[in-house]
Structure 1
Amino acid sequence: MGESLNLKYTPFSPDHLARTYYVVLQAGQISFRAALDTGSADFWLTSTECTNSTCMSVPRYPLTYASPTFVSINNNETAFAVNYADGTGASGFVARETVEVANVTVANQAFGVVTSSNITLVSEVSGILGLGFSRQSEISARAASATPFFSTLAQQGILDYPIFGLSLTRNATGTFTLGAIDVSVVQNVSQVVWNEVVSFSPVGTQTNTSGYFYWAIRMSSFAVNGTQYTPQPTYPGPNDNSSIALLDVGTTGLYGPYQDVIRLYSSFPSSRLVDESGQWAVPCDSSAIISFSFGNGATFVLEPTDYIIGPAEGNPDLCLSWPKAAPPSTDGVDWLLGTPFLRTVYSIWSYGIDYQEPPMIGLYPYNNASAPVQPFSVVESSLSSESATVATTLPNFVLSTPTYTTPPYAFNTSVPAVYGEIVQSELATSTYSPLIGTLAVNATALPQVTGAYTLFVTNSNGAVVTSTYHITQPSVTLGVPPGWNSAASRSVPGVGLAISILITLAAGTWII
C-alpha cells in the first residue's frame, strides 16, 4: 500500500519561529491534528483530563466517551512523560487505540494520553505523531509490544515498502507519502542521493537494543559561496572523526556547534553574533549561498530566502539568520537540520529491513547548485510578503563567543555500533526485498505515487494494482466522537483529495 497526502504551507506569520507541519488523523474515529516529528518516536494526544490552560485551547481526546477501540494498559497506571529542549513537557499514561492516517489503519496502537502539559499548542494541534525509531520511544520502554506508529507499519509489512516521503515546499503544495515516493516531485529517481543512517552505541549497560536511534547522517562538509569547511565533531572518537547531522521536520531552524558556525559566518561580510543564545545576523542584502554535503559529497544548497529569518525591528539592514550556534550535545549530534533545510529537498526516509538493509535517508534537491545568485529583490519580496520583521533590538557592542565545557559522551563506546553494520532486528520485516541498501541500488523500483490521487494496493496474488480516484473528502470536526454534537467543535474544510487527508503548516512547534 502506498498513500499520498496533500500538504499545504501556511505563510510566514509574526510568530514565525513557532511553526510546524501537522496531519489530520483519527484516533478511535475522532479527528485530531498531530504535528509530524522525525526527531521523536511517540504518538501522543492531549486528553480531557488535562485542564492546564495550554490543553484547554485545543481539541482533546475525550476519555468520557469510552471509545469502543480504546484499550487500557495496566488500568491506566503505565506512566508516560516527554520533555523537550525548550523546557516544556507533557505527562500522562499509556493506552491503546485504533489510529488511522489517510487509508492506513493500525489497531491497538500504543499512544500517550496526556493529562498534564505546559506545551503551548496552537492552531488546534492536539499532539505529536513521532516518526522516529523504536529505541527512541518512551512508550516502547514502558509497555510491552508497544512500537511507534511508523515502526508498526514497517514491522507488519502494511506498506508497499517501509518508507515515507516529505515535500515541504514554501508554497501551497506539497506531499507526505506513506510506503511510496511522490514522482510528481521526484522527476528523476536516479538523482536521489542516499545516505546511510548513523548507528549509536548502547547507553550504560544497555543490551539487546537496535543501533538506530535518530534519523541522523554523516556531514562531510559545509560551505559558503564555495569556500568549503570540514566539520569539527565535538566527539571525534566515537563517531569515526565525522560530524553527525540530525534531520528533523519538527524543528523550525538550523543549529550547529560553535566551532563550525563561527567559521561559516566568517565568510559573511559584516555578520556578527547578536545574542548569547548563538544567534547571528547578516546583512539583509546578502547573496551568499550556504551548502551542506553528506556521505558521498553530494552538495545541497540554501539560498538567502532559505536561511534568512527576517530583519531586526531595531536595525532593518541586518537580518537574523540560520544556522544558530548551540552548545555541545552529549549524544554527539552536532548539527540539527530542520525545516529551512528540508524545504530545499524532497526527503525519503527508509526504515531499513531486518538482516538485509540499513535505514537510509534519500535527498532529492530542489535548488540547483550551479544556478545564478539569487538577487536581493527576490529576498526583499519574500520578506515583504511574509511580514517577517523580527521584534528584537540588536546589541550595539560586540558580543564575545560563549565557551563551554564538553560533557561526557552519553553512549557506551566499549560496545561500539559499527558504521555500516546492518542491525539484526527492530527494523522492517524481512519479507521485504531490499532495493536501496545494496551495492546495486534499484531505487527506480520503489513504489511511486503522483500527487494525491493514486493508490497502490498489493492483491492476494502479489500483484500491485493501481487505482486513481477523484474523491472530495468532506469536512471533519476535530475532537468530537461520532454522533456527538459540540458547539465548541472545530471543522477542517473539505479538500479535493483521494484516499488522503490534509497536512498543513501551522503555528506551534516543539524543538526536539
Structure 2
Amino acid sequence: MTDTGLGDVLDTTYTVLVKIGETLCPLIIDTGSADLWTASDGCQECSKYGVALYPQESLSAVGQDVDLLYGDSRTGTHASGPIGTDTVGVAGLSVPDQYLAAIVDTNTSVLDTGSTGILGLGFPPVSVIWRQLLASDLQGPVPTFLKRDINPNKQDDPNTLPSFEFLNSTSQSWKRQDGPTPYASPIDSFSTIGPFVTRLVTLKLLSRPLVVTTLQRDTVSLSGNAGTLSLGALPYGLADEYLTWVPIRGYRPSEGGLPPSPEAPNEVYPLVWEIPIDDVYFDGVKLPRSPLSPSTISLSALVDTGNSLIRGPQDIVGHIYALLGDSFDCSIPHNLSFQIGGVQFPVDPRDFAQPMPVRPGTVYADEAARCSPALAATDPPRQGGFLYSWSLGDPFLKSVLVAFYYGNITHPSQDPPRVGLMSTVPSDAGSALEKAVASAVNNGGIFPSASEPAPYATPIELHTVPLENVSPPMTQGPQWAYSSGAAGAGAAARGWTTSLILAVLVGVLGHLYR
C-alpha cells in the first residue's frame, strides 16, 4: 500500500500532489469524473494565479484537442487544450505514456484554489479523453460532430449519458477504414489509453484494485484528522469486515452503458461510483421517496469527492429547508443520515451546518449563530440518463472512510466493483458543534477555518473567515462542480481568499463543473 496526504481548501476542494513529467501539480481528486488535466503554460490567463504550470514542451502531443464540458441545468464550465502523453505519478506510483489534457483555456475556478487541474478517479466509460482517442483509433481524426457526441453539452441536457455511438460498427469487425485497430475490443484499450487509476489497476501496479479516501475538516470545528488518499490497500489496521460494502450500479447497453466486447457479450460495466441507498432520514424521520424519479428506478447515489455539497431531489431538499426555515440555529445539531447496506451513515452536524452571514459591524442579535444546510437540488434521474437521485459530496465524505474497489475493470462479473464505507462521526459530534458555535459567538461571529496544501504543493494561506464576509450558499446550486457522473463531470472550487468566502465556495463551488 502507498498513501499520501491531501490538501484542503475550506472543505470545498481536496487535492493531491501529482507529478506530471517533472512538474509537481496539486490536482483535485474527483471520483465523479475520469479525466486527468492540468493547466499548462499555454494558458495566458493562468499565470496570474501563481501556481506551477505544466510546460507544453513536455507533452508528447497526439494532434488532438479536447474540450471537457461540465455543468448541469443551472451552470456550465469547460476546460480545453491538447491531448498528449507524459509520465504521471502519485505517491511513488507512476505510469509512462499516460494520456492527459494540457489545458490552455478554462472558465472553471480550479486555479483560484491553488490547484492546477483535476485527477479523475472514475471508470473509463465516462472519460472524454478515452472515448475521443478510441474513436480516433477506429475512424481516424475525430470530426467536430463526433466530438459533440462523445462529450455532449450538459447545459442543453445535464443528465446526458456519454455516447458510444462510434462503437456501433464494432459489431461487424474491429477495423478502421484504413486498416486494423490496435485493439480487439474497447476494453483492450483500457491499459493503454485509459485513465490513470485504470492503468494502475490493469497494469497490476496496485496490490489490490483499491483507492481509499479520508477527508479532513478545516471549517467550523477543525477536525485535526489528516486527509489521505491510499492506493492499493486499506489504511493500516483496517480489514474488509470493518466496512459496509455495497455494489456499484452497472449500465446495460439498453440503458446507455458501454457495449460489451465480442468475447464477453454478457458483461455489464459501471459508469460512475453509484451505490444503492435504502432510505434517507432527517432528524430520525424517514424522508419520502421523491415522485420526481420514476418508481421503476431504484434509489441510488453518486459518491463524489468533487462535490462540495450534498445534492438531492428538489422536492426533498425543499422539504428539509421548509423544516428548518431560511436559517437555523447552528448550535442545534441536525441529523441527515443515509441508510446504506442496512447501516445508518450520518452526516456530522458540523458539516451539515453552513454559517450564514451577519451584517458588517454586528454580531448575532439573539446570540445565536445562523446556518443553512449544506444541501442543494440536483436534476432528477430518468431513463436514458444517469439514474442516481443523490450526490454524496464532501459534507458526507468527511463523515466516512470510503474504499473505492475497482475489481476487474475489463470483466466486472469476475470481480465486481464495490464501495466500502465506515462511519467516522464521533459520538460527541453534537456537543462539539455546540462548543464551536459558542466560541464563534464569543469571537464576534468568526468560525475557525483553514486551507492546507497537499504535501509539497502550492502554499495556500491559513486564515479565519469573519462571518460578515460570508455569502449565503445557493439553495439551487449547480449539480456538478468539478465532477459528476455525466459526460465526466469533475470537482468544484471557487477561491480561498477572504474575498472568495466560505459559503460561496460551498454553494457556487459545490460543483463547479457539474
TM-score range with shorter-chain normalisation?
A: 0.5 to 0.7
Rounded Cα–Cα distance in structure 1 between residues aligned with 2:300 and 2:256 = 23
Residue 433 of structure 1 is matched in structure 2 by none
Question: 1:212 pairs with 238, 255, 270, which one?
Answer: 270
Residue 183 of structure 1, CA deviation = 2.7
Change (3 A) 1:258 1:94: same
Cα displacement string for residues 318-365 of structure 1 (whole angstroms, at most 9, x for unaligned residues): 312122233435523221111111011111000122231221110011
2:289 paired residue number = 231
Alignment correspondent of 1:192: 243
> 3-state SS of the aligned residue for 2:6?
strand
Task: Please list the CA deviations of residues 272-307 of structure 1 after superposition, one character each: whole Å capped at 9, or x if unmatched.
Answer: 2x4xxxxxx32223222221112x220011232120
Number of the residue aligned with 1:159: 206
Alignment of 1:226-265 (within 5 A): 226-232=284-290, 234-239=292-297, 242-265=298-321
Which letter maps to 1:26? K
Map residues 349-428 of structure 1 onto 2, 5 A cutoff.
Answer: 349-353=404-408, 354=411, 355-367=413-425, 376-381=434-439, 384-386=447-449, 387=465, 389=467, 391=469
In the alignment, is residue 5 of structure 1 matched against residue 4 of structure 2? yes
Given that 2:404 and 2:418 are in contact with CA atoms closer than 8 Å, whether structure 1 keeps it comes out as yes
1:292 matched to which residue of 2?
338
Q: CA deviation at 1:79?
A: 3.2
Shift of residue 138, structure 1, vs aligned partner: 0.2
Residue 70 of structure 2 is matched in structure 1 by 83
Per-residue deviation, residues 430-470 of structure 1 (Å, max 9, x unmatched): xxxxxxxxxxxxxxxxxxxxxxxxxxxxxxxxxxxxxxxxx
1:51 and 1:140 mapped to 2: Cα distance?
27
Alpha-carbon distance, 1:89 to partner: 0.9
User: Could you tell me how far apart the structure 2 residues matched to 1:370 and 1:23 are?
Assistant: 30
Describe the shift of the 1:219–1:111 C-alpha distance in structure 2 as closer, same or farther (beyond 3 A). Answer: same
Q: Are the counterparts in 2 of residues 58 and 126 from structure 1 also a CA contact under 8 Å?
A: yes
Correspondent of 2:374 among 317, 322, 330: 322
Q: CA deviation at 1:253?
A: 1.0
Counterparts of 2:476 and 2:352, CA distance in 1: 21
Structure 2 unaligned blocks of 5 or more: 135-188, 218-223, 261-267, 441-445, 450-464, 478-484, 487-507
Instruction: Give me the TM-score of the superposition, normalised by structure 1.
Output: 0.66
Structure-1 separation of matches of 2:342 and 2:23:
46
Counterpart contact for 1:310–1:389, Cα < 8 Å? yes
Is the 8 Å Cα contact of residues 299 and 369 (structure 1) preserved in structure 2? no
The change in CA–CA distance for 1:380 and 1:39 in structure 2 (over 3 A counts) is farther
Give yes or no for contact 1:58–1:122 (8 Å, CA) kept in 2. Answer: no
Q: Secondary structure at the match of 1:236?
A: coil
Q: Deviations over 1:31-64 (max 9, x none)?
A: 111111111100001112211357764322112x
Aligned to 1:41: 34
Residues of 2 paired with 1:204 and 1:290: CA distance?
A: 31
Distance in 2, Cα, partners of 1:176 & 1:393 = 31
Q: Which residue of structure 1 aligns with residue 512 of structure 2?
A: 510
Q: Percent identity?
A: 26
Tell me the distance in 2 between the aligned counterparts of 1:401 and 1:142.
Answer: 32
Q: Distance between the aligned counterparts of 1:227 and 1:304, measured in 2?
A: 16
**Pair 384,373 (structure 1): closer, same or farther in 2 beyond 3 Å:** closer
- Alignment match, 2:491: none
- How far, CA to CA, are the matches of 2:24 and 2:471 in structure 1? 42
Distance, in Å, in 2 between the alignment partners of 1:321 and 1:371 is: 16
Aligned-pair distance for 1:81?
2.8
CA contact (8 A) 2:258 2:269 kept: no
Which residue in the other structure is 2:16 paired with?
23
Which amino acid counterpart does residue 182 of structure 1 have in structure 2?
P
Aligned AA for 1:150?
Answer: V
The Cα of 1:401 is off from its aligned counterpart by: 11
- Tell me how far apart the structure 1 counterparts of residues 78 and 199 of structure 2 sit (CA, whole Å): 25
Alpha-carbon contact 1:8-1:173 (below 8 Å) kept: no
What's 2:398 paired with? 343
| Partners of 2:430 and 2:17 in 1: CA distance | 39
Q: Aligned AA for 2:232?
A: G
Gap change, CA 1:375 and 1:84, over 3 Å in 2? closer
Aligned to 2:94: 105
Deviates more, 1:153-162 or 1:329-338: 329-338
Change (3 A) 1:216 1:21: same
8 Å contact 2:19–2:90 — kept in the other structure? yes
Displacement after TM superposition at 1:260 (Å): 1.8
For the 8 Å contact 1:304–1:379, the answer to whether it is kept is no
Distance 1:153 1:375 in 2: 40
The structural deviation recorded for 1:93 is 1.9
Deviates further, 97-106 or 172-181: 172-181
The counterpart of 2:358, out of the listed 313, 336, 345, is 313
Paired residue secondary structure (2:270): coil
Give 1:61-210 correspondences, 5 Å limit. 61-63=54-56, 66-67=57-58, 70-73=59-62, 76-85=63-72, 86-120=75-109, 121-144=111-134, 145=189, 146-170=193-217, 171-184=224-237, 186=238, 189-202=240-253, 208=259
Amino acid at match of 1:183: Y
Q: In the alignment, which residue of structure 2 is the partner of 1:488?
A: none
Q: 2:196 is aligned with what amino acid?
A: F
CA contact (8 A) 1:34 1:125 kept: yes
The answer for unaligned runs of 5 or more in structure 1 is: 275-280, 403-409, 412-506
Q: Among 365, 376, 387, which residue is 1:332 paired with?
A: 387
Distance verdict in 2 for CA 1:253–1:21, change over 3 Å: same
* TM-score normalized by the length of structure 2: 0.66
Q: Once the two structures are superposed, what CA deviation does each residue of 1:121-164 show, in whole Å capped at 9, x if it has no partner?
A: 12431111000010100001111342001111111211001000
Larger % of strand: which?
1
Secondary structure, aligned partner of 2:396 = helix
Deviation of residue 83 (structure 1)?
2.6
Describe the shift of the 1:32–1:303 C-alpha distance in structure 2 as closer, same or farther (beyond 3 A).
closer
Letter in 2 for 1:302: V
Aligned residues: 379
State how far apart, in whole Å, the 2-side matches of 1:286 and 1:104 are: 45
Counterparts of 2:5 and 2:91 in 1: how far apart (Å)?
10
1:443-501 CA-partner distances (Å, limit 9, x unpaired):
xxxxxxxxxxxxxxxxxxxxxxxxxxxxxxxxxxxxxxxxxxxxxxxxxxxxxxxxxxx
Partner of 1:496: none
